Structure 1
Amino acid sequence: MIPDIGERKMKKNRIIAMLLGTALLVCGCQQTSKATDEEKKIESEKNTTKTEENAYQGKLDLITPAAYNNTDGLKLKKGDYISIIGKANGAQYWDEVKKGVAQAAEDINTNLGYTGKDKVKVAFNAPDTADNVDDQVNLLDEELDRYPVAVGISIVDLQACQVQFDLATDSEIPIVTFDSGSDYQGVAADVSTDNVAAGKEAAQRLAEEMGDSGEAVLFIQDSKSQAALQREKAVTEELKANHPNISVVNVYHMDELSNMQKTVSDEINAGTYRPKDSELPEGQLTGEDVVTADSITEDQVVDYILAKHPNITGCFAANGDSVKLAVDGLERNKMEKKVKVIGFDANDDEIQDLKDGKVNGLIVQNPFGMGYATVVAAARASLNMGNEAVVNTGYTWVTKKNLKTDEVQKILYSK
């Protein structure tokens, strides 16, 4: 039987409807898939941005007051110049400071919408030779001649730069100190670790490691900077006041090497001391056998200190360089297993020594946050916004046990 025309039309309409439904379903699936891919891309970008922010946000979070962990409200003029002067170039610690400085500059320009020649310029400079007082003073002179809107400086010598600070004051260029400050009355703010609290904790940790008794030596990076002096004083006072069974038998300042070279050579020549594995004759030296002071290396100075104090069971080292000096010396003299070491900072060598058990604990500062907050403080000073006298950038106690925790990982130096 042949279907009539009406039935054929109805069947045709049903087929068309089915085809349209299928097409709409496919189209809908494609749109859903496309939307899902787009959402994934956006979410991925958000996560990437969040990860990048988190890479340094933990360091900013340590800064108090919190007004110094961001650049909000810093309405600097186009092309303004801020000069930041450190104590050294090239070391990991100072590289972290530079990264903090650069991040603050980037944040300022982003907030203000400045690009190209309009950008606020922030430069980090430092002596090529670490802790060189004359080079730093000359550098400060050069930077003041550029008339920056503000200067931030980590001072090598507590007594240096007074004349330059007077000149800056006369030129209405505010000075902010960081890392290692000054007693100069006109400083707008000091951005640093609380070295007294950090030194006190270092002493407490050392006492704990030593079983609260025994002899200890201190290795201090210098005898002139405020930071070094504060740490040394805090450690010695804490041990004397609260750990009377621990004796500090020697303090070596690394900038007094020439004095120690003379001490060592004088004893060698007098016959009262002989370096390990020495081929020198016994007794007082004469003629060609006489040892000159400048022939004594710093390693030999450390060996001399350790030889004079063979019973030590504790060592405090006040920065990365002094930690290395102490650890290498203890290993060279086969004393590393009995002497507990507490140090400052967290360069690659120190972290490896911590993992290897050569260092028992580290007071890790926040150089990134220090660089960042110094730029903020300098900007605030140039804008007459007012500053806190002291900006605390924080520190963290780090051991082999807590090294892998999130709290510690977020404050370690970035690669």
Structure 2
Amino acid sequence: MKNRSILLTCMLCASLFLTACGRDDTSDKNNVVLNEEKAESKYQTRLNMVQPQAYSSVEGIKLEKGSYISIIGKAEGSAYWDEIAKGAEDAVKALNEQLGYEGKDKIKVTYNGPSHEGDVDEQINILDEELDRYPAALAIAPIDRTACEVQFDLATENDIPIVEFDSGSDYQGIMAKVMTNNKEAGMTAADKMASLIDEQGEVLLFVQDNKSTSAQDRESGIKGQIQAHYPQIQISGTYYMDDLEELKKMTAEKLTEKNKANGSEEEVTADSVTEEQVMAQILEQHPNAKGCIATSGEVTEKVLDMCEAAGKEDMKIIGFDGGENLTEALDDGSLDGLIIQNPYGIGYATVVASARSALDMGNEAFVDTGYAWVTKENMEETAIKNMLYE
């Protein structure tokens, strides 16, 4: 089976990196291209990762003056979502410059997202408000793959084309999906972890949610790759961060049992359990765990904090996404590797796909924005540095 991991080439375009039988085979011969110095802006590097390349350019797009495109993410204020917003802003800026639109004639793009990542209700409220504005096109990163169907029906009835980015849904009328190939990224994470733990031992999996397609695809990629190719690795626990209340109940029961074993009748309630206690209890339940894979930036930070608090300095940790804290963790060795997505490219390509939808130009069903494998050893290489974000 082929595991295609999209990496940076010496031309800094997206290419496919093949691993024999899906195993981790990333030797120097595969990574040497990352050592090439290239005088190129970080934003151009990120656009070069987008496939098809037509989605890294606004050439040929002639939207009407004053057109409005609405973009709705899963959150605001984090490094990842800020990068998506930046990519969208730069795309519309390039579009206005190409068309010579100024002042009130300018095409407008707005980015909105819930104040807390994972808040489905707030995202739907934002979606309702944006549909009331009748944008030329609407792009959304669904938190829940099934929660927006009523709104999507309404958009379709009003001829508002829908593009999905970052994660998707099962809705049939989507014009394009702009995102990382999350299943392949999960497979890459599995291969890298296998290499770190010599292809044997227990691994814990921490997933940002159990509702979004991005989370589900990463989980599927990780588990499928390990099951198919690493029989001596066991995923001994999978934990979803949007199931925190259930995890608190589990932790409360365990802590109550400990109290009784120590001669105390004090009963611990779920309401009194902290997130730190939850994470500590998970590690205590798996004393033989050799590695942790976290499927988002926020979850990666939680896992790092958990392992530091427990003194698990030998725990191998692989995460997703970037940001200043995770870059520092790579540099100091507490984090072994990151799957860095291309949020800037996602934002830019989303505007292109949305504009094409508004003009009935036709779209690719899937626009692959690429990812890179980043470690302490390669993070100073020019191409990799251009992919990092804070």
Is TM-score (shorter-chain normalized) higher than 0.5?
Answer: yes
1:54-65 maps to which residues of 2 (within 5 A)? 54-65=41-52
SS of structure 2 residue aligned to 1:163: helix
CA distance in 1, matches of 2:263, 2:360: 68
- Note if contact 2:138-2:161 (Cα within 8 Å) is conserved in structure 1: yes
Structure 2 residue aligned with 1:87: 74
The offset of 1:268, in angstroms, is 2.2
Match of 2:301 among 293, 300, 324: 324
CA distance in 1, matches of 2:298, 2:239: 13
Task: Give the counterpart letter for 2:367 in structure 1.
Answer: V
More strand by share: 2
CA distances 1:189-219 after superposition (whole Å, capped 9, x unpaired): 0000000111001000000000100001011
TM-score (norm 1): 0.83
Match of 1:389 among 352, 362, 365: 365
CA distance in 2, matches of 1:189, 1:376: 10
SS of structure 2 residue aligned to 1:408: helix
Match of 2:334 among 325, 348, 358: 358
SS of structure 2 residue aligned to 1:176: strand
- State yes or no: 1:252 paired with 2:228: no
CA distance in 1, matches of 2:385, 2:198: 29
CA distance in 2, matches of 1:112, 1:395: 31
Structure 2 residue aligned with 1:398: 374
CA distance in 1, matches of 2:221, 2:99: 43
CA distance in 2, matches of 1:341, 1:281: 33
Task: Give the counterpart letter for 1:335 in structure 2.
Answer: K
* Structure 2 residues without counterparts, runs of 5 or longer: 1-37
CA distance in 2, matches of 1:142, 1:238: 41
The offset of 1:144, in angstroms, is 0.3
* Structure 1 residues without counterparts, runs of 5 or longer: 1-49, 275-279
- State yes or no: 1:302 paired with 2:279: yes
SS of structure 2 residue aligned to 1:369: helix
Task: Give the counterpart letter for 1:393 in structure 2.
Answer: T
CA distance in 2, matches of 1:378, 1:284: 61
CA distance in 2, matches of 1:55, 1:364: 14
The offset of 1:284, in angstroms, is 6.2
1:6-405 maps to which residues of 2 (within 5 A)? 54-269=41-256, 271=257, 273=258, 282-283=262-263, 285=265, 289-336=266-313, 338-405=314-381
SS of structure 2 residue aligned to 1:410: helix
Task: Give the counterpart letter for 2:285 in structure 1.
Answer: K
The offset of 1:266, in angstroms, is 1.9
Percent pairwise identity: 48
CA distances 1:125-148 after superposition (whole Å, capped 9, x unpaired): 111121100000010000000000
TM-score (norm 2): 0.88
CA distance in 1, matches of 2:348, 2:91: 5
SS of structure 2 residue aligned to 1:72: coil
The offset of 1:258, in angstroms, is 0.1
CA distance in 2, matches of 1:122, 1:229: 29
Regions of 4+ moved over 2 Å: none
CA distances 1:325-351 after superposition (whole Å, capped 9, x unpaired): 111111111112x21111111111111
More helix by share: 1
SS of structure 2 residue aligned to 1:321: helix
CA distances 1:106-157 after superposition (whole Å, capped 9, x unpaired): 0010000000000001110111121100000010000000000100100111
Structure 1 residue aligned with 2:386: 410
CA distance in 1, matches of 2:42, 2:336: 26
SS of structure 1 residue aligned to 2:203: strand
CA distances 1:290-336 after superposition (whole Å, capped 9, x unpaired): 22101111111110010010111111010111111111111111112
SS of structure 1 residue aligned to 2:118: coil
SS of structure 1 residue aligned to 2:142: coil
SS of structure 2 residue aligned to 1:234: helix
Higher relative CO (Cα under 8 Å, sequence separation at least 6) belongs to: 2
CA distance in 2, matches of 1:268, 1:344: 31
CA distances 1:16-53 after superposition (whole Å, capped 9, x unpaired): xxxxxxxxxxxxxxxxxxxxxxxxxxxxxxxxxx98x7
- Kindly tell me the number of residue pairs found equivalent between the two proteins: 353
Structure 1 residue aligned with 2:35: none
CA distance in 1, matches of 2:156, 2:79: 32
CA distance in 2, matches of 1:390, 1:100: 18
- Note if contact 2:252-2:273 (Cα within 8 Å) is conserved in structure 1: yes
Distance 1:256 1:408, change over 3 A: same
CA distance in 2, matches of 1:294, 1:379: 47
Structure 2 residue aligned with 1:43: none
Task: Give the counterpart letter for 1:69 in structure 2.
Answer: S
RMSD: 1.4
The offset of 1:283, in angstroms, is 4.3
The offset of 1:267, in angstroms, is 2.5
SS of structure 2 residue aligned to 1:177: strand
- Note if contact 2:118-2:242 (Cα within 8 Å) is conserved in structure 1: no
